[in-house]
Amino acid sequence: MTKRVLYDTNVLLDVILLRAPFVEASAAALDLVARRTVEGFVAGHTVTTIAYLVEREKGRKKAHEALMHLLSKLKVAPTTDAGVRLALAMSLADIEDAVCVASALEAGCEVIVTRNPQHFRKAELPALLPEALVAADGEDAE
Confidence class for position 104, pLDDT limits 50, 70, 90: very high
β-strand partners of 40: 5
Report all structural domains of the chain as residue ranges with CATH numbers, in order of start.
3-141 (3.40.50.1010)
pLDDT confidence of residue 137: 85
Residue 124 to residue 36: CA distance in whole angstroms: 25
Query: How many helices and strands, by DSSP H and E, does the chain display?
Result: 7, 5
Confidence class for position 142, pLDDT limits 50, 70, 90: low
Produce one character per residue of 30-45: b if its CB has 16 or more CB atoms within 10 Å, e if not: bebbeeebbbbbbbeb
pLDDT digit string, tens, across residues 19-33: 999 999 999 999 999
What predicted TM-score, i.e. pTM, was given to this entire model? 0.93
pLDDT digit string, tens, across residues 52-100: 999 999 999 999 999 999 999 999 999 999 999 999 999 999 999 999 9
If DSSP codes are grouped into helix, strand and coil, which group holds residue 128? strand
